[in-house]
């Protein structure tokens, strides 16, 4: 099974507007934490996420979270 690329060992915190977002699950995107299609040809797919109201979001950047796409601090054990 393929393993995702660890982008960094801490979350990417962004203030997000309401909308639909696609989180990069493979770690290959040049537009982290969002998908840019770089997963093509791999076993990974982006995770579609709805943000309903403006808020601060901690996006997972280690790509190993159990609460995809949000950081659960798994990076501390990598």
Q: What's the pTM value of the predicted model, to 2 decimals?
A: 0.94
Phi, psi of 22 (to 5 degrees): -120, 110
Segment 9-21, tens digit of pLDDT: 999 999 999 999 9
Query: How many residues are given for the chain?
Result: 78
Which residues on adjacent β-strands are paired with residue 24?
none
What's the burial of 43, exposed, middle or buried (CB within 10 Å: 0-12/13-18/19+)? exposed
Report how far residue 19's alpha carbon sits from residue 49's, in angstroms, rounded to the nearest whole number: 8
Name the residue ranges covered by the structural domains of the chain: 12-77
Do the beta carbons of residue 12 and residue 31 sit within 8 Å?
A: no
Segment 4-53, tens digit of pLDDT: 999 999 999 999 999 999 999 999 999 999 999 999 999 999 999 999 99
């Amino acid at each position: 099974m393929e393993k995702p690329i660890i982008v960094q060992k801490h979350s990417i915190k962004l203030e997000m507007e309401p909308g639909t977002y696609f989180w990069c699950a493979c770690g290959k995107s040049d537009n982290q934490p969002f998908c840019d299609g770089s997963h093509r040809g791999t076993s990974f797919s982006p995770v579609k996420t709805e943000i309903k109201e403006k808020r601060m979001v901690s996006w997972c950047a280690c790509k190993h979270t159990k609460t995809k796409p949000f950081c659960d601090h798994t990076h501390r054990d990598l």
